[in-house]
Amino acid sequence: MIKDLRDIDLNGDLDEPHVVRVGRTRVYEGSILDIYKDDMKLPNGDIHHWDFVSHRKGAAAVVAVREDGKILMVRQYRPALDRYTLEIPAGARDSVDEDPHDTAYREIIEEIGFVPDELKHLLSLKTTVAFCNEFIEVYLAENLSKEVSQNLDDAESIDIIACDLDDLMDLIYKGVIQDSKTVSGILAYYALKNK
C-alpha cells in the first residue's frame, strides 16, 4: 500500500510492527570506526544479523566560494576507491564534543589555506544510512579572507582546484564526482544560488 507523505511519521510509525535490535557484538575496534554485528528481530519474529559501522566522531565540510564565484575544491587520492577524487574540503571532528562549525573552520584553513569571514550552515547529511551512522555537517563560506599556508596532516597530499559551479554540476551529472558530501553540498549551493 502506498501512503501519502503527509500521513506518516518520518521517525517511524509506532503503531505498526517494527524492527528491534535484540543484541549487538563488537567485532572490530578502530581509531575512528567500530564494526558491530547486530541481531535484529523483524516484525514477523525472525532474527536476522545486520552489520553496523559506528563512526565515533562525525565530520564537517565546506563549500568554499571565492569572490570571483569559483568554488575551491580539493583533489586527493582515496585508497578506498584507488583513485583521485575532487571534493569539497572536509574532515573529522577532533572529538565527539567538538562543534562541527569549529571543525569546518579548521578544515577550510588546513586544506585550502583560506580563512572564512563566516560559515553558514548549508545542510546535514547521514552518509550511508543502510549500515553506518556517520554524519557530516556542510557549511557555506562565501567571503574568504586572507590566504594562509595549507596546514596538512602528515599523510595528506592535496591539490587545490578552482572550479566553476556549472563545471562541477556537469561532473556530478556525468558521474565523475560521486562523493556524497560533495554532491550534496554542490547541489544545495546551486539550489540556494538559483532560488
Residue 186 has, within 13 A of its CA and on its CB side, a CA count of 27
Nearest CA to 18 out of 44, 43, 46 is that of 43
- pLDDT, one tens digit per residue, over 57-85 is 899 999 999 999 999 999 998 888 899 99
pLDDT score of 195:
86
Number of other residues whose CB lies within 10 A of the CB of residue 157: 9
- pLDDT, one tens digit per residue, over 128-185 is 999 999 999 999 999 887 676 655 566 667 889 999 999 999 999 999 999 999 999 9
Residue of 10 and 130 predicted with greater confidence: 130
Q: Examine the pLDDT at 13 and tell me if it is beyond 60.
A: no
Q: Residue holding cell 532560488?
A: 195
For residue 94, the SS3 value is coil
Question: How far apart, in whole angstroms, are the C-alpha atoms of residue 1 and residue 172?
Answer: 34
pLDDT score of 117:
87
pLDDT score of 12:
62
Question: How far apart, in whole angstroms, are the C-alpha atoms of residue 181 and residue 101?
Answer: 15
Domain architecture of the chain: domains with CATH: 5-55 (no CATH), 59-193 (3.90.79.10)
Q: Looking at residue 7, what DSSP letter applies?
A: G
pLDDT score of 146:
66
Q: How far apart are the first and last CA of the chain?
A: 35
Entry pTM = 0.86
**pLDDT class of 9 with cuts at 50, 70, 90:** confident
